[in-house]
Structures are given as C-alpha cells and as structure tokens.
Structure 1
Amino acid sequence: MGRRPASALLDILRGEGVDRVFGNPGTTELPFLAALADDGEAPEYVLGVHEGAVVPMADGYARATGRPAFVSLHIAAGLANGLIGLLNARRSRTPLVVTAGQQDRRHLQQDPMLSGDLVALAAPAVKAAYDVQHARDLPLALRRAFALAVRPPAGPVFLSVPMDLLAEDTEVEVPARTPPPRPAPAGGLDRAAVLLGGAARPVVVAGDAVGREDATAALVRVAEACGAPVHHQPMADCLDFPTTHPLYAGTLPPRHDAIRAALAPYDTVLVAGAHAFSPHHYSPGPALPPGLTVVQLDSDPDEIGRNFPADHGLVGALGPSLDRLAELLPQQVPPHTAKARALRAGDRHLAERTRTEAAARAAYSRAPLAPWAAAHAVAHGLPPGTAVVEEAITVGLLLRALVRLEQPGSYTHTVGGGLGWGIGAAVGRSMAQPARPVVAVLGDGCALFGLQGLWSAARYAAPVLFVVMSNGAYRTLQDTYEARGGTGPCPGTELGRLDFTQAARFFGIDAVRADSADQLRELVAGAAELTRPMLVDVPLR
C-alpha cells in the first residue's frame, strides 16, 4: 500500500527508531511541519534558535543513543549555519541524517529567494549528499541515508528535498528496512596474537572506534592479557579506555614528534580503531619510531596503512575482534609475564598521576583560579556516572590528565575543531540520558560560539551543569603564538572579562560565579541533583 511522500518520510523515521527531530524551520519545511502536526505518533520536534546549536544537539543525542539522529535544516542559509556542526560530526564520525527543504521546483530556475545548490554546499561537510527530485525516490533515498550513516566510517548524510515534493498528491512505496549486518570479527587475529605475544615491550593505542563501538571492556581484556600500557589516541573524542585502570598511560599529544617519543620505549604497538594519528601542529618526521612492529585493527578498511605502514592490518568490528584477540593472547603470553608487566606499568603510571595531582594542588590559590586548580576541582567534584562534555581547549587538556572515569560515554569531545559544539552537544546528551548527570566544561571562546544552545537548554529544562572556564582570551592561540617565537601581544586573541552569568540569565538559566576551587568542586558535585540547567562562570588567571 502506497503512502503520501510526507507520510512515507515519517513512517521511515519511526522504523529507524527516530523519536526526535532536531531543527530550526523555515518556509521550505512547512510541508514537513504539517505532516508532523497531523500525525499523532510523529517524533517530537526539538527546536533550536540557531543551526549552530541544532546540529550539535543531534550530535550529542546520536552519540548517547548509539543510533542516527535526524536533523531538519532550512534551505541554503540554514544549511550554511549548520556546516560547522556537520564538519564536527564528520570528523567525529557521528551518524546523522540531515535534510534541508529546497525551494519549490516549479520556479527554481528563476533563482527564487533562499535557493541554492544545497548538495554542493553540503558535500564537503558530509559523508554523502543526495538531491531528491522525484517523490518515488524519497523513501529509498532515506533508507539508504540511514544505512550509510552508520556504516564504517560513520558520519552525516545529507538530503535536499524540494518543498513541493513533500506536498505532492501522489502515493509512494515504502521499502522495508534491512537489518544491518551482524558485526563480525576480523580475519588474521591468530597472527596478531603471535605478533603481540612475541613482543617484549607491547603498547596499545585506543582509538575512538573502541568507544563508539562499545568495545572498551574487550580492549581492557586485551591489554591485561599482554600487560601492555594503553594510550588514548591524540585528541580522543570519547572514553576508549578507563582512566582508572593501572595500565592507562594517558592521551598521546597531537604532534608526530611527541607521539614518536611516547612510543619509542616499545617494540610492538596495537593500534585499535584510531584515526591515523591525525596531528594538530606540524612537526617533521613520521608519527611512529623506527623498528616498531605495528598491528592495526579497524572497522574502516581505509584506515589500514593510511598514514603509517602496518605490519599486520585487520578489518573487522572492534568488539568481536578484540574479544577474540583476548582469548588468543594467553596462549602466547604467560599470565605471570603479563601480570609482571602490568605491575611495573601500574607503578609508573601511579607515580605520574601523583605528580600531576601534586601540580594541580600546588596551583590552588585565591581567586581568580589557576587553570590547573579549576580542572582539579571539576575532576574531583564529578558525581558517579557523570557524562562530561568537554569543549574547553586549554583547560580541557588539563582536565583529561585529572579525570578518573570508567563508565562508557563518560567523556565526550569533538576532534572536528569547529567551536560552539559543547553547549548543544550537552543538551542532546541530556535528552538521550535524562537520569545521568551531564557536566559541560567549556572555554569562554567556545561558549560564545554556541551560546544560542542555552535557549534550548532552558526550553527543554535539560539538567545540565554548564561550567565556563573564562580566561578572557583565545588562550590556546596565544600559547601557540608564543611557542613559535611570537613576541608581544598576539592580535585578535583578547576577549576581555565577560560575565557569563548575565548571558545565562538572559536565557532563563540559573547562574553563579565560582570564586574558589572548593566552591567549584561543590557546585560540580551537585550536578546530580539538578532538575533544570545551571551555569557556573569560573574566572581564571
């Protein structure tokens, strides 16, 4: 039995598990809004007052639910506003299905107001983009978009849908949903176990595919089976290995020379689900030291050997592959050997963590707070089970060294680099997991880019604690400027002192200024009791 185009769209959304539509509407979305209004079982429409907040809300929601989120943008202008969020989602491999209403096809050749080449505009920021021109093609294009969004490498998929297409008085067939293939382990795991088992000094790099594919527990078993220290990949987007584990060795810096130095003591590395060690700042030379045996596992075949040669590359789902590898390793590594390695690594990592804690505590002083002290207060105030959404750049690096987290989804970041993601992402995560405390740690520059997300936080009473680390500058840019020999003030990097409590109150959000580390820690500890959003302004030195 056929369905009208708009009704077919809603049928597919329900079948794909979509329970919310994240959007900011305009005239070209009116047929879609009418369909939502007429359908008693339609997904909830979650409104954002700017697309810069809408796409991050969907991003945070998709990451928390583990399924694609659906986004509705408004023609060329709305799509352009959402491009930063789409770039972040593509880099972070967040599955989204994104539509934008195109102008009525009956006068599109006349270049009507707001029209544009939506596919060309979206293409650089998404995994794939489609221009739907016939009502009969809409259901198939949507099914294809949802399937493609989750297929490794996951990412956003865009569809341009003319407004008159949804309003057509015609019937279209809705294809049945094809269940995704069952995740399967990689081939060649026996040889991987031999290579890792033959290593005298093995190490593991935990990539973000581990966290995305819920394979953290399996990676823990692999690391324990060979007694290997574990580093997070540079600029990790999520918790890929518990930071409380004795084998946890911290996050690799995003520079080839620093990665090379960190991995130099080892003879064999397992790179599990890491995006090719993408650097941030240039440094000469390769990421890996000479003579290092590389075993690389990824669900995305394009990652194998992408930026460095792999001695043994494996393609398969991370969870099943790591589970099988953990079963094979005890045949290659005697348990007493693995245990002895783990004890040595644990002692070394404990000493490093003790030094880091001491440095942070030594930074405690009167207001304004030192960045180390602020990061320490947040890390030690987090309630059990908290989901940390971090977009703090300089303070975020300190926070990563201090947080002790082990529950999946406990830490979320975006490697995309498009500022303004954090506020919306925290709102989306809270919507997906309303019983879980959410603490968003934001830089003041990042908060300014995404400030409109506070409107949605207030509108939907998202119980998020927003912590704004306010140093009055683009501090990471100043640090890099100085490191490269810049002298004198760096132009265009001073924001001045801003009162974020006033910004929060404008949107109807309770706000307070934290003038001491103890006060900040207590406020963070209270995040579990929130029933509506709250903002904490933290002036920094």
Structure 2
Amino acid sequence: KSEPVSVGIISHCKLALNELIKTVKPVLNDKSNEIISKRKNTISKEFEESQKSYEESLSAKWNQSPMIPARMMYEIANAVPENAVILDDSISNRAALRYYFKPENRGDLRAVRGQSIGGGIGATIGNQCAYPDRTVFGIIGDGSAMMTIQGLWTAANDNIPCVFIICNNGMYRVLKVNFNVYQKDILDLPETAGANLLYSDFNTPFDMAAIANSMGVSGTRITKPEEIKPAIDKAVASGKPALLDIVIDGSL
C-alpha cells in the first residue's frame, strides 16, 4: 500500500527469494556482477558508519538517570542465560533491543507480529509453555503490558516461570514516535510535535512491580543499570514467574 511495485509477489519470503535467485543468476554477466559487488560494498560501509554513529550518540547519555533504553538492553543482553528465549514486545525500544541481542539460533528471538500492541504478556507465557527447559524473557513496553496485565495472575496461578521485563518510560512513546514520522515524512512539516502529543503520557506512572506482587508474581523495581543482572539471576534461580520493572528515559 505504501510502496509502488512493478511486479507484486505474494509468497513466503524464503521461498520467493530462493526462486528469484534461481531465475536471476543465469542472466547475470560480468557487468551486472560488478554492479552488485559495488552495491554490497557501499551498503556494508554505510552499515558500519551507522553503527559507529549510533554508538557515538549513546556515549554522552550512557550513565544518565533515568537510564536510556540502550543501556537497559545492553545490561539485559549481558545478563540473560545463554539458552534464553527473548520475546520482543519492546515497541519503540525495539531498535535498541535488536542492536544488542544477536540470536545464534532460530527461535532464540521472537516477536509479536503486526502493529497492534498488548500481546507481550500472553506471548511470553505461551513461549515459556512451549520451551519449558529454557527461561523465556518477555521484554515489554509498559503501555503494552497494561493492556493484558491480568496475564500475570495466570503465570502465578499455574507457576509458569517466565520473566517479564517492563520498559517503564511512563508513556505511550510509540504514539509520539509515529506522530513525528507522520508529520515529517507524510506531511513534510519542518517541525514535529510528537513529544507533546496529548493523552500519551501516564501522568500517574504505573508501579508495575506492585501490580505484579498483587497478583502473586515477584515484582522488583529497578532504577539503576547495576541492579539488572542481580535481579535477573535471582529471577532465574527462583524457578517462578518474576517481573522486573525497569524505569527508563522516554524522551524522543
């Protein structure tokens, strides 16, 4: 709907790409191979530069309080067990999550599909049931978690030992981000107003740890990066469902 195409193909991505490769390879010549090689080199260089730029942008804010999402993801990635399954419902913090989590095997990193929110709690529980010998960590936005927060009771009642990690920025940040994208990319406005979008801030922030404890799930509120690893170790060792309520910066 948003990108014009010359030939539209509806297929499983892997199947379609394999067939396209088979079709294209026989018609390639030296000139086209040279063009492809140059394009690959250009893309690789641009990727390296973007990675470097991203890391430089984080350095000045690395130790700030509340912690930035990237710092939270870095600490989590270095604390979870090697055989962990990560369920990504981190919403507007997804870029930081994908930067630090590099899955080695298929299924190590899973995500809630589509653009709707609210699926993270249930998906975390479901994946834990599917992988009883591995700890499943659901990394979930606070707004998304609140849509199905009653799922914590299910985890406690049936002793499903997953770990819920809440990205608590006190807002529907994704709405602000999308509003900025709409104003900038669609309306081509010189300035954006997403940061001040009405009714997207939680003026009374959620105490997710308290909510978890009220439903029988061990909840811990975290405000410092160095608290993350000990809390994860404790949650995994308990063999019971746990929730880590991590307070992070939500500024755009």
Per the TM superposition, whether the score is higher than 0.5 is yes
How far did residue 540 of structure 1 move? 1.8
2:150 is matched with 452
1:398 equivalent in alignment to 2:106: no
Which residue among 192, 197, 200 is the counterpart of 1:490? 197
Once residues 41 and 11 of structure 2 are traced to their aligned partners in structure 1, the CA distance between those partners, rounded to angstroms, is 31
Identity of aligned residues (%): 21
For the residue of structure 2 that corresponds to 1:537, the secondary structure is strand
The alpha-carbon distance between structure 1 residues 333 and 411, as it changes in their structure 2 partners (threshold 3 A), is farther
Q: Give the structure with the larger helix fraction.
A: 2
Tell me how far 1:428 sits from its aligned partner: 0.4
Corresponding residue pairs, total? 236
Question: Which of the residues 478, 490, 512 maps onto 2:220?
Answer: 512
Alignment of 1:192-271 (within 5 A): none
2:79 — aligned with what? 381
State the SS of the aligned residue for 2:121.
helix
Tell me: CA distance 1:487–1:356, structure 2 relative to 1, closer, same or farther (3 Å). closer
Deviation at 1:521, TM superposition (A): 4.5
- Structure 1 residue 461 displacement after superposition: 2.1
**Rg (Cα) greater in structure:** 1
Kept in 2, the 8 Å contact 1:458–1:507? The answer is: yes
> 1:412: how far off?
2.5
Larger relative contact order (C-alpha < 8 A, sep ≥ 6)? 2
Q: 1:470 to 1:488 in 2, by over 3 A?
A: closer
Aligned pairs for 1:148-167 (under 5 A) are: none
- The answer to whether 1:536 aligns with 2:244 is yes
Q: How big is the shift at 1:537?
A: 0.7
Q: d(CA) in 1 for partners of 2:56 and 2:76?
A: 16
Structure 1: 5+ residue stretches without partners: 1-277, 279-285, 289-307
Q: State the partner residue of 1:309.
A: 6
Match of 1:470 among 164, 168, 172: 168
Query: TM-score with structure 2 length normalisation?
Result: 0.75
Residue of structure 2 equivalent to 1:14:
none
**Cα RMSD (Å):** 3.6
- Aligned counterpart, 1:435: 133
Instruction: State the one-letter code of the partner of 1:408.
Output: R
Cα deviation, 1:416-446, whole Å, max 9, x if unaligned, reads 3333210111000010011223111111111
Contact kept in structure 2, 1:373 and 1:517, CA below 8 Å: yes
Q: How does 1:7-22 map to 2 (within 5 A)?
A: none
Task: Give 1:287's aligned residue.
Answer: 3
Structure 2 distance, partners of 1:327, 1:310, is: 15
Give the distance between the partners of 1:468 and 1:379, measured in 2 at CA: 15
Change (3 A) 1:323 1:372: same
The answer to whether the Cα contact below 8 Å between 1:385 and 1:407 also exists between their aligned partners in 2 is no
Q: Residue 128 of structure 2 aligns to which amino acid in structure 1?
A: S
Unaligned residue ranges in structure 2 (runs of 5+)? 184-191
1:393-423, CA deviations, whole angstroms, 9 ceiling, x for partnerless residues? Answer: 2222332333222321233223433332101
Are residues 1:355 and 2:53 paired?
yes
- The change in CA–CA distance for 1:493 and 1:537 in structure 2 (over 3 A counts) is same
Alignment CA distance shift 1:342-1:405 (3 Å):
farther
Aligned to 1:60: none
Report the CA distance between 1:535 and its aligned residue: 0.7
Q: Counterparts in 2 of 1:152-191, with a 5 A limit?
A: none
Q: TM-score, normalised by structure 1?
A: 0.38
